[in-house]
Structure 1
Amino acid sequence: MRIVALGTGPFAVPTLRLLADSGDAELLAVVTRPPRGRRGEPAAPMALAADELGLPLWQPESVNLAESVERLAGYEADLLLVCDYGEILKPPALAATRLGGINLHGSLLPRYRGAAPVQWAVLNGDAETGVSVIQMTPGLDAGPVLGEARTPIDPDETAGDLEARLAAMGAEVVQRVVAELAAGAAQGRPQDGSQVSKAPRLKKEHGLIDWSRPATQIKNQVRGLQPWPRAYTFAPQAKGEPLRLVVDRAEATDADGAPGEVLEADERLLVATGEGALELLEVQPAGKRRMAAAEWLRGAKLSAGASLRSG
């Protein structure tokens, strides 16, 4: 099976490595999104992996340009393998290979179609998620499912930790689907349109904590927004503007108070929410390193009765 792999971010790297190491496919090239030109910006994870594996690297401005489609066709590949690429492929690009394209997606489709499926599964407090490999069509993440794998989500697992697990799981599913396609045995399952949900790209504003929400939901927000954009609130200071305080680890518990009210601020930092309370375990105050909340409290001059704000 002759394959051109399209990917940019880290989610695609385990799949590339597994196919390269197994020898199950002939990898003709790796296509990544080009650098954005920011000084000091590190190379894309897939670009680094391609270099390490000795694979040809191509970074077009758009894979959908006529000259890009022509180059894709020139590889005479059997299949495009797309994962964490960053651009939606249009029909001419998908038609540049014998079998079109397959895509590895970090959810159990049709749930969480879109750019941030892993994060939204954690944000919503789901107990289970998985990966899907689909035959690509013009619709966003809408093609027939060729293979999938399921896994429970640990109640304390962050989106970053879960994404790493799913990337490894997904590599094995892709390997199986590629073998089935090579044997002519792959069978696609149409997605149930009535079960579609969306997973839009995250923004920094998603990190702002609304203390009127239940503690369990805020904990999920803290977990789901790591490593980016991270959950945050604002703490009062004796002088000046409130301090932006990133919350990196927290635990929901039972306690009552007005939303945002600091219930304890000595050995632990306990904050009331709209339902229950949230103990902040690890924080990062603006301009400082990440630390245990108890360590921050020793110099923060925050006392019970103060209020954390949502802006």
Structure 2
Amino acid sequence: MSIRILFLGTGPLALPTFQALCDWQEHHVVGLVTQPDRTGRGHHQHVNPLKQLATERGLVVLQPSSIKTPESVDALKETEADLFVVAAYGQMLSDAVLAIPRLGTINLHASLLPKYRGATPIHAAVLNGDREAGVTIMEIVKKLDAGPMLGVAKTEIGTKETTSQLEQRLAELAVPLALQVINQIALGQETRVPQDESQMTHVRKLSKSDGLIPWEKSAVEVERHVRGMQSWPGPFSYLHQPGKPPLRLQILAVDPVENAAGALAVVPGAVIALDSSSITVQCGTDAVRLQNVQPDGKRPMPVSDFLRGRKVESGDRFGAEARME
């Protein structure tokens, strides 16, 4: 039995599933609900690939600034969708919205629930050094990410994988799972598994300031931070050198190394070793060797290129913009 699907999504996690649903012959996508268009620097419009695809397919596109208004609720009802499918949409759904589709509303959540409910589950998996991540499809209920689970897919996390790389893989992993669950719902054969509330953890939304590298932590944790904050909010630090203003750098790749002799008394963030292709920086425990960086306003580059344009010496310091002695 074919059903009508309304898709609600905005971010990269949503695109592969939306593409697959649009190409699917089993069921019919009636429209897209996505966030309002954003304007970046220089008044350039950010491209929303989901909106582009929906427009190409002649689908209804709704972009309410708030999905909770009576006007938005009416517009959703007019789609006559049987099922709402949500993936990285970016707005909370009200009871009035959830009451619209006769088959309910399901959500593609990028974690192995009940672990990492909330806004940044992929970041959390990388930052915490988890060995595996995954996608859970759940029924949306009033409590955040607490609905019964309809399907789960897992994958191992690569030892050098960044948040953005893992997100791309999870987005692809979600596709066959979503098609399977939607078919089960259409046939009335879905299985609902309650979440174990005793295992629940919550992760908050991140801000730009969260990208600041915590040099006081261990080298292993600093390396996870560098991977976990890519591509947003971006792992960064300021290079402090005598007689020069602080230089903001994104730190894009590091390798943990054992503590250099005598480094135990060195302040975290201090440069403790240099060669032509790397900079070694003290952490709270052990150190990291910087491999790739990106100065503000410039392209990403290996440290060897950076050192050709900027002299760095042992004792220089990485840290916050306002240097703390």
Please indicate, yes or no, whether the TM-score normalized by the shorter chain is above 0.5.
yes
TM-superposed deviation, 1:6:
0.7
The structure-2 alpha-carbon separation of the partners of 1:37 and 1:300, relative to structure 1 and needing over 3 Å to count, comes to closer
Correspondence for 1:209: 213
Correspondence for 2:27: 25
Runs ≥4 in structure 1, deviation > 4 angstroms? none
Correspondence for 2:138: 134
Q: Give 1:113-124 correspondences, 5 Å limit.
A: 113-124=117-128
1:264 aligns with 2:268: no
TM-superposed deviation, 1:240:
3.0
| In 2: Cα distance, 1:158 partner to 1:109 partner | 21
Q: Give 1:60-139 correspondences, 5 Å limit.
A: 60-139=64-143
Per-residue CA deviation, residues 160-194 of structure 1 (Å, 9 max, x unaligned), is: 00000000111211111000001111011111111
Taking structure 2 as the reference length, what is the TM-score of the superposition?
0.92
TM-superposed deviation, 1:53:
3.2
| In 1: Cα distance, 2:47 partner to 2:318 partner | 38
RMSD (Å), alpha carbons: 1.4
| In 2: Cα distance, 1:34 partner to 1:151 partner | 32
Q: Give 1:111-260 correspondences, 5 Å limit.
A: 111-256=115-260, 257=263, 258=266, 259-260=268-269
| In 2: Cα distance, 1:128 partner to 1:145 partner | 18
TM-superposed deviation, 1:138:
0.9
- Preserved CA contact (<8 Å) 2:7 2:84: yes
- Preserved CA contact (<8 Å) 2:120 2:203: yes
Per-residue CA deviation, residues 116-158 of structure 1 (Å, 9 max, x unaligned), is: 1111111111111100000010111110000010111011000
- Preserved CA contact (<8 Å) 1:211 1:310: no
- Preserved CA contact (<8 Å) 2:219 2:288: yes
- Preserved CA contact (<8 Å) 2:118 2:145: yes
- Preserved CA contact (<8 Å) 1:210 1:310: no
Aligned partner of residue 219 in structure 1, secondary structure: helix
- Preserved CA contact (<8 Å) 2:108 2:135: yes
TM-superposed deviation, 1:40:
1.1
1:16 aligns with 2:25: no
Correspondence for 1:45: 49
Kindly provide the amino acid, as one letter, of the partner of residue 3 in structure 1.
I
- Preserved CA contact (<8 Å) 1:72 1:97: no
- Runs of 5+ consecutive residues of structure 2 not aligned to the other structure: none
Aligned partner of residue 308 in structure 1, secondary structure: strand
TM-superposed deviation, 1:227:
0.6
Taking structure 1 as the reference length, what is the TM-score of the superposition?
0.96
TM-superposed deviation, 1:238:
4.8
Correspondence for 1:57: 61
After TM superposition, the structure 1 stretch with the greater mean CA deviation from structure 2, 46-55 or 80-89, is 46-55
| In 2: Cα distance, 1:286 partner to 1:97 partner | 47
Correspondence for 1:3: 5
Which among 282, 287, 305 is matched to residue 277 of structure 1? 287
Q: Number of residues paired by the alignment?
A: 311
Correspondence for 1:304: 314
| In 2: Cα distance, 1:85 partner to 1:4 partner | 12
After TM superposition, the structure 1 stretch with the greater mean CA deviation from structure 2, 116-125 or 128-137, is 116-125
After TM superposition, the structure 1 stretch with the greater mean CA deviation from structure 2, 297-306 or 234-243, is 234-243
The structure-2 alpha-carbon separation of the partners of 1:306 and 1:237, relative to structure 1 and needing over 3 Å to count, comes to closer
- Preserved CA contact (<8 Å) 2:238 2:320: yes
Kindly provide the amino acid, as one letter, of the partner of residue 163 in structure 2.
A
Per-residue CA deviation, residues 255-285 of structure 1 (Å, 9 max, x unaligned), is: 2322222122222211111111101110012
